[in-house]
A = this chain, B = another copy of it.
Amino acid sequence: MAETTKYLIDESRLPKDWYNIAADLPQPPAPPLHPGTRQPIGPADLAPLFPMAIIEQEVSTERYIEIPEPVREVFRLWRPSPLYRAHRLEAALGTPAKIFYKYEGVSPAGSHKPNTAIPQAWYNAQEGVKKLSTETGAGQWGSSLAFAGQLFGLDVTVFQVRVSYDQKPYRRALMETYGARCIASPSRETQAGRHILEQNPDHLGSLGIAISEAVEVAALNEDTKYALGSVLNHVLLHQTIVGQEAILQLEMADADPDVVIGCTGGGSNFAGIAFPFLGLQLRGGRKRRIVAVEPAACPSLTRGKFAYDFGDTAHLTPLVKMHTLGSTFTPPGFHAGGLRYHGMAPMVSHLADLGLIEAQAFHQTACFEAGVLFARTEGIVPAPEANHAIKGVVEEALRCKAEGRAETILFCLSGHGHFDMASYQAYLGGKLSDSDYDEKELAMALSGLPVIA
Protein backbone atom coordinates (compact mmCIF):
# COMPACT_ATOMS: atom_id res chain seq x y z
CA MET A 1 0.00 0.00 0.00
CA ALA A 2 1.36 3.38 -1.03
CA GLU A 3 2.13 6.05 1.49
CA THR A 4 -0.30 8.92 1.67
CA THR A 5 0.68 12.01 -0.27
CA LYS A 6 -2.04 14.47 0.70
CA TYR A 7 -3.45 15.32 4.09
CA LEU A 8 -6.86 16.92 3.96
CA ILE A 9 -8.99 17.91 6.89
CA ASP A 10 -12.73 18.23 6.74
CA GLU A 11 -14.39 21.64 6.44
CA SER A 12 -15.77 21.04 9.94
CA ARG A 13 -12.20 21.31 11.28
CA LEU A 14 -11.53 24.66 9.60
CA PRO A 15 -9.96 26.74 12.40
CA LYS A 16 -12.41 28.95 14.26
CA ASP A 17 -9.74 31.37 15.54
CA TRP A 18 -6.62 33.09 14.36
CA TYR A 19 -3.55 32.76 16.57
CA ASN A 20 -2.13 36.05 17.86
CA ILE A 21 1.53 35.68 18.77
CA ALA A 22 1.44 39.01 20.64
CA ALA A 23 -0.14 37.06 23.52
CA ASP A 24 2.92 34.87 23.98
CA LEU A 25 5.86 37.21 23.43
CA PRO A 26 8.57 37.33 26.10
CA GLN A 27 8.60 41.10 25.57
CA PRO A 28 6.40 43.39 23.47
CA PRO A 29 7.60 44.94 20.21
CA ALA A 30 8.43 48.65 20.01
CA PRO A 31 5.34 50.75 19.25
CA PRO A 32 4.72 52.39 15.87
CA LEU A 33 5.28 56.16 15.96
CA HIS A 34 3.35 58.98 14.31
CA PRO A 35 5.39 60.32 11.36
CA GLY A 36 4.76 63.91 12.49
CA THR A 37 4.78 63.89 16.30
CA ARG A 38 7.10 60.85 16.67
CA GLN A 39 4.77 59.75 19.49
CA PRO A 40 3.19 56.28 19.67
CA ILE A 41 0.18 56.23 17.40
CA GLY A 42 -3.30 55.52 18.74
CA PRO A 43 -6.50 54.16 17.20
CA ALA A 44 -7.63 57.68 16.24
CA ASP A 45 -4.58 58.11 14.03
CA LEU A 46 -5.45 54.96 12.11
CA ALA A 47 -9.23 55.48 11.94
CA PRO A 48 -9.24 57.33 8.60
CA LEU A 49 -7.50 54.36 6.99
CA PHE A 50 -8.84 51.23 8.67
CA PRO A 51 -12.11 50.03 10.21
CA MET A 52 -12.14 49.81 14.01
CA ALA A 53 -12.23 45.99 14.10
CA ILE A 54 -8.94 45.88 12.16
CA ILE A 55 -7.36 48.53 14.38
CA GLU A 56 -8.30 46.49 17.44
CA GLN A 57 -6.64 43.42 15.93
CA GLU A 58 -3.55 45.45 15.16
CA VAL A 59 -2.95 46.12 18.86
CA SER A 60 -4.64 43.11 20.47
CA THR A 61 -2.81 40.83 22.89
CA GLU A 62 -5.61 38.24 23.02
CA ARG A 63 -4.19 34.84 22.12
CA TYR A 64 -7.09 33.74 19.94
CA ILE A 65 -9.24 36.00 17.82
CA GLU A 66 -12.43 34.57 16.39
CA ILE A 67 -12.71 34.23 12.62
CA PRO A 68 -16.16 35.61 11.71
CA GLU A 69 -18.47 32.92 10.33
CA PRO A 70 -19.12 34.76 7.01
CA VAL A 71 -15.35 34.81 6.49
CA ARG A 72 -15.10 31.08 7.20
CA GLU A 73 -17.95 30.59 4.70
CA VAL A 74 -15.79 32.09 1.97
CA PHE A 75 -12.69 30.25 3.14
CA ARG A 76 -14.56 26.99 2.50
CA LEU A 77 -14.16 27.65 -1.24
CA TRP A 78 -10.56 26.47 -0.91
CA ARG A 79 -9.79 25.92 2.78
CA PRO A 80 -8.67 23.82 4.54
CA SER A 81 -5.86 23.83 1.99
CA PRO A 82 -3.96 20.58 1.41
CA LEU A 83 -0.79 19.53 3.19
CA TYR A 84 1.43 17.32 1.02
CA ARG A 85 4.24 14.93 1.69
CA ALA A 86 6.85 15.55 -1.02
CA HIS A 87 7.77 11.90 -1.64
CA ARG A 88 9.10 12.52 -5.16
CA LEU A 89 11.22 15.51 -4.18
CA GLU A 90 12.70 13.49 -1.30
CA ALA A 91 13.55 10.67 -3.70
CA ALA A 92 15.13 13.03 -6.22
CA LEU A 93 17.31 14.54 -3.49
CA GLY A 94 18.08 11.13 -1.99
CA THR A 95 17.47 12.59 1.44
CA PRO A 96 16.35 10.77 4.57
CA ALA A 97 14.44 13.94 5.52
CA LYS A 98 10.65 13.96 5.41
CA ILE A 99 9.44 17.01 3.54
CA PHE A 100 5.92 18.36 3.96
CA TYR A 101 4.43 21.39 2.26
CA LYS A 102 1.29 23.35 2.89
CA TYR A 103 -0.08 24.50 -0.47
CA GLU A 104 -1.79 27.88 -0.66
CA GLY A 105 -1.95 28.01 -4.47
CA VAL A 106 -5.39 26.38 -4.37
CA SER A 107 -7.01 29.72 -3.51
CA PRO A 108 -8.97 31.48 -6.27
CA ALA A 109 -6.17 34.03 -6.71
CA GLY A 110 -3.51 31.32 -6.67
CA SER A 111 -1.71 32.48 -3.52
CA HIS A 112 -2.06 32.97 0.24
CA LYS A 113 -3.21 36.57 -0.13
CA PRO A 114 -6.99 35.90 0.01
CA ASN A 115 -6.51 34.68 3.61
CA THR A 116 -6.33 38.31 4.66
CA ALA A 117 -8.17 39.97 1.76
CA ILE A 118 -11.42 38.22 2.68
CA PRO A 119 -11.53 39.26 6.37
CA GLN A 120 -10.29 42.77 5.57
CA ALA A 121 -13.09 43.25 3.04
CA TRP A 122 -15.66 41.76 5.41
CA TYR A 123 -14.72 43.97 8.39
CA ASN A 124 -14.87 47.03 6.15
CA ALA A 125 -18.27 46.04 4.77
CA GLN A 126 -19.54 45.47 8.33
CA GLU A 127 -18.60 49.02 9.28
CA GLY A 128 -20.38 50.53 6.30
CA VAL A 129 -17.36 51.19 4.13
CA LYS A 130 -18.27 51.29 0.42
CA LYS A 131 -14.87 51.46 -1.27
CA LEU A 132 -11.39 50.11 -0.71
CA SER A 133 -8.18 51.46 -2.14
CA THR A 134 -4.92 49.57 -2.26
CA GLU A 135 -1.67 49.27 -4.16
CA THR A 136 -0.19 46.28 -5.95
CA GLY A 137 3.11 45.50 -7.54
CA ALA A 138 2.86 42.29 -9.53
CA GLY A 139 -0.83 41.92 -8.74
CA GLN A 140 -1.14 38.98 -6.31
CA TRP A 141 -2.49 41.19 -3.58
CA GLY A 142 -4.57 43.38 -5.90
CA SER A 143 -6.37 40.42 -7.42
CA SER A 144 -7.06 38.91 -4.00
CA LEU A 145 -8.59 42.14 -2.70
CA ALA A 146 -10.55 42.53 -5.95
CA PHE A 147 -12.13 39.13 -5.42
CA ALA A 148 -12.81 39.83 -1.73
CA GLY A 149 -14.39 43.20 -2.49
CA GLN A 150 -16.63 41.61 -5.11
CA LEU A 151 -17.98 39.10 -2.60
CA PHE A 152 -18.95 41.75 -0.04
CA GLY A 153 -20.17 44.47 -2.39
CA LEU A 154 -17.19 46.83 -2.06
CA ASP A 155 -15.75 48.79 -4.96
CA VAL A 156 -12.02 48.16 -5.13
CA THR A 157 -9.52 50.56 -6.67
CA VAL A 158 -6.01 49.23 -7.20
CA PHE A 159 -3.04 51.50 -7.85
CA GLN A 160 -0.78 49.24 -9.85
CA VAL A 161 2.87 50.18 -10.29
CA ARG A 162 3.03 51.49 -13.90
CA VAL A 163 5.79 49.18 -15.10
CA SER A 164 3.76 46.20 -13.92
CA TYR A 165 0.52 47.70 -15.31
CA ASP A 166 2.15 47.99 -18.72
CA GLN A 167 4.22 44.80 -18.71
CA LYS A 168 1.88 42.40 -16.89
CA PRO A 169 -1.50 43.01 -18.53
CA TYR A 170 -2.70 39.56 -17.50
CA ARG A 171 -2.51 40.41 -13.81
CA ARG A 172 -4.59 43.47 -14.54
CA ALA A 173 -7.06 41.31 -16.48
CA LEU A 174 -7.44 39.09 -13.41
CA MET A 175 -8.20 42.09 -11.18
CA GLU A 176 -10.69 43.40 -13.71
CA THR A 177 -12.31 39.98 -14.10
CA TYR A 178 -12.95 40.20 -10.37
CA GLY A 179 -14.49 43.62 -10.91
CA ALA A 180 -11.76 45.95 -9.62
CA ARG A 181 -10.67 49.21 -11.22
CA CYS A 182 -6.93 49.30 -11.93
CA ILE A 183 -5.06 52.57 -12.25
CA ALA A 184 -1.48 52.85 -13.42
CA SER A 185 0.58 54.57 -10.70
CA PRO A 186 1.76 57.32 -10.64
CA SER A 187 -1.64 58.62 -11.79
CA ARG A 188 -3.36 61.97 -12.22
CA GLU A 189 -6.04 60.91 -9.72
CA THR A 190 -4.08 61.92 -6.63
CA GLN A 191 -1.98 64.83 -5.46
CA ALA A 192 0.90 62.45 -4.83
CA GLY A 193 0.66 61.01 -8.32
CA ARG A 194 0.35 64.38 -10.06
CA HIS A 195 3.36 65.67 -8.16
CA ILE A 196 5.50 62.81 -9.44
CA LEU A 197 4.20 63.08 -13.01
CA GLU A 198 4.95 66.80 -13.12
CA GLN A 199 8.57 65.98 -12.43
CA ASN A 200 8.66 62.98 -14.74
CA PRO A 201 5.68 62.19 -17.00
CA ASP A 202 7.22 58.83 -17.89
CA HIS A 203 7.84 57.66 -14.31
CA LEU A 204 7.67 53.85 -14.11
CA GLY A 205 6.21 53.97 -10.61
CA SER A 206 7.14 52.14 -7.41
CA LEU A 207 5.36 50.38 -4.60
CA GLY A 208 6.13 53.35 -2.38
CA ILE A 209 4.38 55.79 -4.72
CA ALA A 210 1.41 53.47 -5.20
CA ILE A 211 1.03 53.21 -1.42
CA SER A 212 1.03 57.00 -1.18
CA GLU A 213 -1.73 57.24 -3.80
CA ALA A 214 -3.90 54.54 -2.22
CA VAL A 215 -3.51 56.05 1.25
CA GLU A 216 -4.34 59.53 -0.06
CA VAL A 217 -7.57 58.31 -1.68
CA ALA A 218 -8.64 56.63 1.56
CA ALA A 219 -7.67 59.60 3.74
CA LEU A 220 -9.60 62.10 1.61
CA ASN A 221 -12.79 60.09 1.04
CA GLU A 222 -15.24 59.39 3.84
CA ASP A 223 -16.59 56.21 2.22
CA THR A 224 -13.18 54.74 1.37
CA LYS A 225 -10.69 52.82 3.49
CA TYR A 226 -7.25 51.50 2.75
CA ALA A 227 -6.14 47.85 2.76
CA LEU A 228 -2.61 46.48 3.00
CA GLY A 229 -1.52 42.98 2.00
CA SER A 230 1.38 42.35 4.38
CA VAL A 231 3.65 43.85 7.10
CA LEU A 232 1.01 44.90 9.65
CA ASN A 233 0.09 42.78 12.67
CA HIS A 234 -3.50 42.14 11.59
CA VAL A 235 -2.35 40.85 8.20
CA LEU A 236 0.10 38.44 9.83
CA LEU A 237 -2.66 37.39 12.23
CA HIS A 238 -4.99 36.49 9.36
CA GLN A 239 -2.35 34.29 7.75
CA THR A 240 -1.96 32.13 10.88
CA ILE A 241 -4.85 29.98 9.65
CA VAL A 242 -2.21 28.37 7.42
CA GLY A 243 -0.07 27.16 10.31
CA GLN A 244 -3.11 26.32 12.43
CA GLU A 245 -4.32 23.94 9.74
CA ALA A 246 -0.84 22.53 9.23
CA ILE A 247 -0.67 21.56 12.91
CA LEU A 248 -3.87 19.52 12.54
CA GLN A 249 -2.68 17.95 9.28
CA LEU A 250 0.74 17.00 10.63
CA GLU A 251 -1.06 15.25 13.48
CA MET A 252 -2.88 13.18 10.84
CA ALA A 253 0.49 12.42 9.28
CA ASP A 254 1.92 11.58 12.70
CA ALA A 255 4.73 14.03 11.99
CA ASP A 256 6.30 16.86 13.95
CA PRO A 257 8.50 19.32 12.08
CA ASP A 258 12.07 19.95 13.20
CA VAL A 259 12.37 22.84 10.76
CA VAL A 260 9.65 25.23 9.55
CA ILE A 261 10.47 27.30 6.47
CA GLY A 262 8.76 30.21 4.74
CA CYS A 263 9.80 32.87 2.24
CA THR A 264 9.67 36.46 3.38
CA GLY A 265 8.85 39.68 1.58
CA GLY A 266 6.70 41.78 3.88
CA GLY A 267 6.52 38.81 6.23
CA SER A 268 2.89 37.67 6.22
CA ASN A 269 3.37 34.38 4.40
CA PHE A 270 6.22 33.46 6.73
CA ALA A 271 4.20 34.47 9.78
CA GLY A 272 1.26 32.38 8.58
CA ILE A 273 3.15 29.10 8.57
CA ALA A 274 5.59 29.91 11.39
CA PHE A 275 3.76 31.75 14.18
CA PRO A 276 1.47 28.90 15.28
CA PHE A 277 4.51 26.61 15.67
CA LEU A 278 6.47 29.34 17.41
CA GLY A 279 3.49 29.86 19.71
CA LEU A 280 3.63 26.21 20.77
CA GLN A 281 7.28 26.72 21.69
CA LEU A 282 6.68 30.02 23.52
CA ARG A 283 4.04 28.29 25.63
CA GLY A 284 6.52 25.60 26.71
CA GLY A 285 6.62 23.27 23.73
CA ARG A 286 9.70 21.91 22.01
CA LYS A 287 12.16 24.15 20.24
CA ARG A 288 12.07 24.00 16.46
CA ARG A 289 14.18 25.81 13.91
CA ILE A 290 12.03 28.48 12.25
CA VAL A 291 13.69 29.74 9.07
CA ALA A 292 12.81 32.81 7.02
CA VAL A 293 14.21 32.75 3.48
CA GLU A 294 14.63 36.02 1.64
CA PRO A 295 16.10 37.11 -1.70
CA ALA A 296 19.80 37.95 -1.58
CA ALA A 297 18.99 40.98 -3.71
CA CYS A 298 16.66 42.44 -1.05
CA PRO A 299 18.00 41.02 2.22
CA SER A 300 16.22 42.99 4.94
CA LEU A 301 16.60 40.34 7.66
CA THR A 302 20.13 39.27 6.82
CA ARG A 303 21.64 42.65 5.86
CA GLY A 304 19.23 45.31 7.15
CA LYS A 305 19.30 47.35 10.35
CA PHE A 306 16.76 46.74 13.11
CA ALA A 307 15.67 50.34 13.45
CA TYR A 308 12.78 52.77 13.20
CA ASP A 309 12.02 53.53 9.55
CA PHE A 310 9.20 54.54 7.24
CA GLY A 311 7.08 51.93 5.47
CA ASP A 312 7.00 53.90 2.22
CA THR A 313 9.35 56.00 0.16
CA ALA A 314 7.18 59.13 0.47
CA HIS A 315 7.35 58.96 4.28
CA LEU A 316 3.60 59.19 4.88
CA THR A 317 3.27 55.99 6.90
CA PRO A 318 3.96 55.58 10.62
CA LEU A 319 7.51 54.89 11.73
CA VAL A 320 7.94 51.26 12.68
CA LYS A 321 10.86 49.43 14.21
CA MET A 322 11.85 46.73 11.76
CA HIS A 323 14.68 45.12 9.86
CA THR A 324 15.08 47.53 6.99
CA LEU A 325 17.40 48.34 4.14
CA GLY A 326 16.29 51.96 4.38
CA SER A 327 13.17 53.43 2.80
CA THR A 328 15.24 54.93 -0.03
CA PHE A 329 16.65 51.52 -0.97
CA THR A 330 15.54 50.32 -4.41
CA PRO A 331 15.92 46.57 -4.85
CA PRO A 332 17.11 45.42 -8.29
CA GLY A 333 14.47 44.04 -10.64
CA PHE A 334 14.43 40.35 -9.79
CA HIS A 335 11.47 38.13 -10.55
CA ALA A 336 9.94 37.50 -7.13
CA GLY A 337 8.01 40.79 -7.12
CA GLY A 338 6.26 39.85 -3.89
CA LEU A 339 9.59 39.92 -2.04
CA ARG A 340 10.77 43.33 -3.26
CA TYR A 341 10.21 45.38 -0.12
CA HIS A 342 12.81 47.36 1.76
CA GLY A 343 11.50 46.44 5.20
CA MET A 344 10.19 43.48 7.14
CA ALA A 345 7.06 43.12 9.26
CA PRO A 346 7.83 44.63 12.69
CA MET A 347 6.59 41.48 14.41
CA VAL A 348 8.84 39.21 12.34
CA SER A 349 11.73 41.64 12.92
CA HIS A 350 11.09 41.60 16.66
CA LEU A 351 11.20 37.78 16.72
CA ALA A 352 14.44 37.80 14.73
CA ASP A 353 15.87 40.32 17.20
CA LEU A 354 14.87 38.01 20.07
CA GLY A 355 16.72 35.15 18.37
CA LEU A 356 13.53 33.13 17.96
CA ILE A 357 13.85 32.78 14.20
CA GLU A 358 16.69 32.33 11.70
CA ALA A 359 17.11 34.04 8.35
CA GLN A 360 18.78 32.94 5.12
CA ALA A 361 19.16 34.66 1.75
CA PHE A 362 19.54 33.11 -1.72
CA HIS A 363 20.03 34.47 -5.22
CA GLN A 364 17.25 34.00 -7.73
CA THR A 365 18.86 31.59 -10.22
CA ALA A 366 19.53 29.11 -7.40
CA CYS A 367 15.89 29.54 -6.33
CA PHE A 368 14.58 28.91 -9.86
CA GLU A 369 16.78 25.82 -10.11
CA ALA A 370 15.12 24.51 -6.94
CA GLY A 371 11.69 25.50 -8.29
CA VAL A 372 12.17 23.61 -11.57
CA LEU A 373 13.28 20.53 -9.62
CA PHE A 374 10.11 20.87 -7.56
CA ALA A 375 7.92 21.21 -10.67
CA ARG A 376 9.49 18.16 -12.28
CA THR A 377 9.03 16.01 -9.20
CA GLU A 378 5.93 17.28 -7.39
CA GLY A 379 4.16 18.67 -10.47
CA ILE A 380 3.26 22.10 -9.11
CA VAL A 381 5.09 25.01 -10.74
CA PRO A 382 5.80 27.32 -7.79
CA ALA A 383 5.56 31.10 -7.75
CA PRO A 384 9.03 32.71 -7.87
CA GLU A 385 8.53 33.89 -4.28
CA ALA A 386 7.90 30.31 -3.13
CA ASN A 387 11.05 29.14 -4.93
CA HIS A 388 13.01 30.88 -2.18
CA ALA A 389 11.40 28.66 0.44
CA ILE A 390 12.05 25.61 -1.74
CA LYS A 391 15.73 26.53 -2.07
CA GLY A 392 15.89 26.72 1.72
CA VAL A 393 14.22 23.31 1.96
CA VAL A 394 16.59 21.73 -0.56
CA GLU A 395 19.58 23.00 1.44
CA GLU A 396 18.18 21.56 4.67
CA ALA A 397 17.32 18.25 2.98
CA LEU A 398 20.85 17.95 1.60
CA ARG A 399 22.27 18.75 5.03
CA CYS A 400 20.11 15.94 6.44
CA LYS A 401 21.50 13.66 3.74
CA ALA A 402 25.09 14.60 4.57
CA GLU A 403 24.46 14.14 8.29
CA GLY A 404 22.31 11.02 7.85
CA ARG A 405 19.49 12.62 9.82
CA ALA A 406 15.81 11.92 9.08
CA GLU A 407 14.53 15.33 10.13
CA THR A 408 11.04 16.52 9.31
CA ILE A 409 10.85 19.72 7.28
CA LEU A 410 7.70 21.77 6.76
CA PHE A 411 7.36 24.68 4.37
CA CYS A 412 4.64 26.82 2.91
CA LEU A 413 4.24 26.73 -0.87
CA SER A 414 2.62 30.14 -0.93
CA GLY A 415 1.37 30.14 -4.51
CA HIS A 416 1.57 28.66 -7.97
CA GLY A 417 3.60 30.18 -10.76
CA HIS A 418 1.02 30.05 -13.56
CA PHE A 419 1.03 33.84 -13.78
CA ASP A 420 4.83 33.91 -13.71
CA MET A 421 5.80 31.79 -16.67
CA ALA A 422 7.72 34.69 -18.21
CA SER A 423 10.23 34.39 -15.39
CA TYR A 424 10.57 30.63 -15.95
CA GLN A 425 11.02 31.35 -19.65
CA ALA A 426 13.85 33.73 -18.77
CA TYR A 427 15.44 31.20 -16.41
CA LEU A 428 15.21 28.27 -18.87
CA GLY A 429 16.55 30.48 -21.65
CA GLY A 430 19.60 31.36 -19.56
CA LYS A 431 18.54 34.99 -19.45
CA LEU A 432 18.18 35.29 -15.70
CA SER A 433 21.03 36.90 -13.80
CA ASP A 434 21.67 37.34 -10.12
CA SER A 435 21.73 41.10 -10.45
CA ASP A 436 22.58 42.33 -7.02
CA TYR A 437 21.87 45.58 -5.26
CA ASP A 438 24.43 48.34 -5.37
CA GLU A 439 26.55 48.14 -2.20
CA LYS A 440 27.05 51.91 -2.16
CA GLU A 441 23.33 52.52 -2.52
CA LEU A 442 22.62 50.14 0.34
CA ALA A 443 25.22 51.83 2.53
CA MET A 444 23.65 55.18 1.70
CA ALA A 445 20.14 53.95 2.48
CA LEU A 446 21.28 52.38 5.74
CA SER A 447 23.16 55.51 6.77
CA GLY A 448 19.86 57.33 7.27
CA LEU A 449 18.86 54.86 9.97
CA PRO A 450 17.45 54.93 12.50
CA VAL A 451 15.07 57.70 11.49
CA ILE A 452 14.55 58.08 15.22
CA ALA A 453 16.74 56.49 17.87
Tell me the A residues contacting B by CB distance below 8 Å.
2, 4-6, 8, 10-11, 69, 72-73, 76-78, 84, 88, 106-108, 110, 147, 150-151, 169-174, 176-179, 372, 375-376, 378-381, 416, 418-419, 421-422, 424-425, 428
Cα(A422)–Cα(B380), bound, Å: 22
Are A108 and B380 within 8 A (Cβ)?
Answer: yes
The contact of A428 among B5, B11, B173, by CB within 8 Å, is B173
Are B422 and A170 within 8 A (Cβ)?
Answer: yes
Cα(A379)–Cα(B425), bound, Å: 28
State the oligomeric state as a number of copies: 2
Cα(A378)–Cα(B172), bound, Å: 19
Q: A2-B72, A4-B11 are in contact. Are A424 and B177 (CB under 8 A)?
A: yes
Cα(A177)–Cα(B416), bound, Å: 13
Q: A6-B76, A428-B176, A428-B177 are in contact. Are A170 and B69 (CB under 8 A)?
A: no
Q: CB-CB < 8 A to A422: which residues of B? A: 169-170, 173
Are B76 and A179 within 8 A (Cβ)?
Answer: no
Q: A11-B4, A376-B150, A418-B419 are in contact. Are A425 and B73 (CB under 8 A)?
A: no
Cα(A5)–Cα(B77), bound, Å: 7
Are B425 and A173 within 8 A (Cβ)?
Answer: yes
Are A372 and B147 within 8 A (Cβ)?
Answer: no
**Closest chain B residue to A422 by CB distance?**
B170
Q: CB-CB < 8 A to A419: which residues of B? A: 418, 421
A-B contacts, 13 listed (Cβ < 8 Å): A4-B11, A4-B76, A5-B11, A8-B10, A77-B380, A88-B151, A110-B418, A173-B422, A174-B421, A177-B372, A177-B424, A418-B418, A419-B421
The contact of A2 among B73, B110, B174, B177, by CB within 8 Å, is B73
Q: A108-B381, A170-B425, A425-B172 are in contact. Are A177 and B5 (CB under 8 A)?
A: no
Q: CB-CB < 8 A to A177: which residues of B? A: 372, 375-376, 381, 421, 424, 428
Are B376 and A179 within 8 A (Cβ)?
Answer: yes
Are B428 and A379 within 8 A (Cβ)?
Answer: no
Cα(A376)–Cα(B74), bound, Å: 12
Q: CB-CB < 8 A to A424: which residues of B? A: 173-174, 176-177
Q: CB-CB < 8 A to A375: which residues of B? A: 108, 177-178
Q: A108-B379, A178-B375, A376-B179 are in contact. Are A421 and B173 (CB under 8 A)?
A: yes
**Closest chain B residue to A375 by CB distance?**
B177
**Closest chain B residue to A425 by CB distance?**
B173
Cα(A325)–Cα(B150), bound, Å: 41
User: A279 to nearest B CB, angstroms?
Assistant: 27
Cα(A179)–Cα(B375), bound, Å: 10
**Closest chain B residue to A2 by CB distance?**
B73
Cα(A5)–Cα(B10), bound, Å: 11
Q: CB-CB < 8 A to A147: which residues of B? A: 376, 379
Q: CB-CB < 8 A to A2: which residues of B? A: 69, 72-73, 76
Are A77 and B379 within 8 A (Cβ)?
Answer: yes
**Closest chain B residue to A77 by CB distance?**
B379
Q: CB-CB < 8 A to A78: which residues of B? A: 379
Cα(A424)–Cα(B180), bound, Å: 14
The contact of A169 among B69, B151, B179, B425, by CB within 8 Å, is B425
Q: CB-CB < 8 A to A174: which residues of B? A: 381, 418, 421, 424
**Closest chain B residue to A106 by CB distance?**
B106
Which 3 pairs, one residue from A and one from B, show the smallest C-beta to C-beta distance? A108-B379, A170-B421, A173-B425
Q: CB-CB < 8 A to A379: which residues of B? A: 77-78, 107-108, 147, 151
Q: CB-CB < 8 A to A88: which residues of B? A: 151
**Closest chain B residue to A9 by CB distance?**
B8
Cα(A78)–Cα(B381), bound, Å: 13
Q: CB-CB < 8 A to A6: which residues of B? A: 11, 76-77
Q: CB-CB < 8 A to A4: which residues of B? A: 11, 76
**Closest chain B residue to A174 by CB distance?**
B421
Q: CB-CB < 8 A to A178: which residues of B? A: 375-376
User: A254 to nearest B CB, angstroms?
Assistant: 16
**Closest chain B residue to A368 by CB distance?**
B177
